[in-house]
Amino acid sequence: MQRKHSVLRNYPVVGHLRYLLEDIRPELQQYFIERNWDGRPYDRDTRSIIYERAKGIHGEQAFGTERDVEAIDYEYLVHSTVPATAPDDPPRVLIGGPDCTKPYSMSLLNVSAMSFGALSANALRALNKGAAMGGFAHDTGEGGLSPYHEEFGGDLVWEIGTGYFSVRTKDGDFDPEEFADKSSRDQVKCVSLKLSQGAKPGIGGVLPAAKVTKEIAKIREVPKGQKCVSPPTHRVFSTPTELIEFVARMRELSGGKPAGFKLCVGSRTDVLAICKAILEVGTAPDFIIVDGAEGGTGAAPLEFEDHVGMPLTQGLMTVHNALVGTGLRDRIKIGASGKISAGNDIVKRLIQGADYTNAARAMMMAVGCIQAQMCHTDKCPVGVATQNHRRARALDVGDKSQRVQRFQEATVAEAVQIMAAMGVTHPSQLDPTMLRRNVSSTANQSYAEVYEWLAPRQLLSEPPQSWADDWAIASADTFHSRRQETHR
């Protein structure tokens, strides 16, 4: 009957074994971590940060770092000899370009895209109530706009995927009238078009048949009990120009709300093709969310999870530099998602080119996920990733929504404190020299030295040699590189 521990609500006897093992960590946990074959779950330190912040426990720890600070690729943030005083209120980001009439003030950390179907109704309730309490945004995921996203009034970023769930015609096409009706709701603050997802780029979303209940089928407008797989591509556009025109149409249909798209970057050529389309069409998306290949998911082929898609650092910097080089950066905000879990993650992504961040896995852990990795079986032991009502009952919305709010608040506060330690009080004061990486066993360099950074409008005047070929190949009329034809 207790409400704080989801494991004990479903397993009131054997569940105590888990907490017994937890009490004798870290030795036992390290044993399991070292034997984790795929390495995808978060390590012990990261899990501790998320769980403790969600529970309202301060994150100070005894002894020193367990990171190998001399390892190649180890990164660190540069602190100032004269730290600044952290502002009382965390900075926020105004989303909305010149064609947007209803801009939205975005938090530095928000709930990333997770659909109803992938997550239980109680999980979505807790996430949205936490977002409402903390004043941050909740991305719906591509599974449609459900009553559980709306129940507690938290701000929503409504994501539309290739399946057009909850706004589809009988033939599976996009329904503009239904979209206009639902996007006009005050709770929907932004509308987002999903091109691809970091954990499974190049294929559509997957919802196993066991999780396609009668309710899910009704909301998504798909057959009950059948595996629900989104198409890999969109029907409403096929070229970069048509993509930008459709995003502009989404903004118009929503009544002027911020409209953008999400993608896992595949090639720099395609990013540049989108930039050329923006210049030709004359209007721009209000935001672009860059999803890294390290992002998680509840169901996808292992080969896609581990071997397809650009990691967040490279993808984020590709999009940022492409927008800077084409003179578009000041019109478009960039969000970053892909294993964002702590304050240092936020600051690193801001330095790499993001304006704000989204977290999915960390938010799931805040509502009780224990990384059982059974999401695709509908047998989640803590009620987070299941459509089984008995299992979902374990997740108490009242308690877990507070954990979501506390985790987000503490993590943003830590990011602001880190920036203050670096001598800055606002993300706009960060620069690539403030993040350094070990490049050998004896040397390290700043991001300003390791990576190339384009000057404003540089691609329009004189592209650097390293970008010149991709810029020449990129076309607003196609996403397919002509370089493939040359190679043939």
pLDDT tens by residue, 295-329: 777 666 677 776 778 899 999 999 999 999 999 99
* Residue owning tokens 């569940």: 15
The answer to which of 62-71, 161-170, 478-487 has the lowest mean pLDDT is 478-487
pLDDT of 63 higher than 60? no
Sign of CA dihedral 220, 223, 229, 231: negative
pLDDT at 29: 52
pTM greater than the 0.85 cutoff: yes
> Domain coordinates of the chain in residue numbers?
6-64, 93-436
The stretch 195-209 carries a mean pLDDT of 77
Record the tokens describing residue 232, joined without a space: 């890999």
Q: Which class for 318: exposed (0-12), middle (13-18), buried (19 or more C-beta within 10 A)?
A: buried
The stretch 132-138 carries a mean pLDDT of 98
Three-state DSSP string of the chain? CCCCCHHHHHCCCCHHHHHHHHHCCCHHHHHHHHCCCCCCCCCHHHHHHHHHHHCCCCCCCCCCCCCCCCCCCCEEECCCCCCCCCCCCCCCEEECCCCCCCCEEECCEEECCCCECCECHHHHHHHHHHHHHHCCCEECCCCCCCHHHHCCCCCEEEEECCCCCCCECCCCCECHHHHHHHHCCCCEEEEEEECCCCCCCCCCCEECHHHCCHHHHHHHCCCCCCCEECCCCCCCCCCHHHHHHHHHHHHHHCCCCCEEEEECCCCHHHHHHHHHHHHHHCCCCCEEEEECCCCCCCCCCHHHHHHCCCCHHHHHHHHHHHHHHCCCHHHCEEEEECCCCCHHHHHHHHHCCCCEEEECHHHHHHCCCCCCCCHHHCCCCCCCCCCCHHHHCCCCHHHHHHHHHHHHHHHHHHHHHHHHHCCCCCHHHCCHHHEEEECCCCCEEEHHHHCCCCCCCHHHHCCCHHHHHHHHHCECCECCCCHHHHHC
At 142, the amino acid letter reads E
Q: What percent of the chain has pLDDT over 90?
A: 65
Place 485 in a pLDDT band, splitting at 50, 70 and 90. Answer: very low
The average confidence (pLDDT) of the chain is 88
> Measured between alpha carbons, how far apart are the two ends of the chain, in Å?
66
pLDDT at 487: 40
The answer to which of 145-159, 189-203, 330-344 has the lowest mean pLDDT is 189-203
Per-residue pLDDT tens digits for 222-234:
888 888 778 888 9
Place 466 in a pLDDT band, splitting at 50, 70 and 90. Answer: very high
pLDDT at 70: 82
Place 39 in a pLDDT band, splitting at 50, 70 and 90. Answer: very low
pLDDT at 20: 76
pLDDT of 450 higher than 90? yes
Record the tokens describing residue 403, joined without a space: 């954990």
At 39, the amino acid letter reads G
Residues composing the chain:
488
Distance in angstroms (rounded) separating the CA atoms of residues 170 and 187: 27
pLDDT at 25: 58
pLDDT at 38: 38
Q: Which CATH superfamily is domain 93-436 in?
A: Aldolase class I (3.20.20.70)
The stretch 421-432 carries a mean pLDDT of 97
Per-residue pLDDT tens digits for 253-265:
999 999 999 999 9
pLDDT at 22: 67
pLDDT at 42: 58
The stretch 276-287 carries a mean pLDDT of 98
pLDDT of 403 higher than 60? yes
Q: What percent of the chain has pLDDT over 70?
A: 89
pLDDT of 482 higher than 50? no
pLDDT of 481 higher than 70? no
Distance in angstroms (rounded) separating the CA atoms of residues 7 and 396: 11
The stretch 156-180 carries a mean pLDDT of 93
The stretch 434-449 carries a mean pLDDT of 95
Place 41 in a pLDDT band, splitting at 50, 70 and 90. Answer: low
pLDDT at 456: 97
pLDDT at 3: 78
At 183, the amino acid letter reads S
The answer to which of 160-169, 174-183, 198-207, 469-478 has the lowest mean pLDDT is 198-207
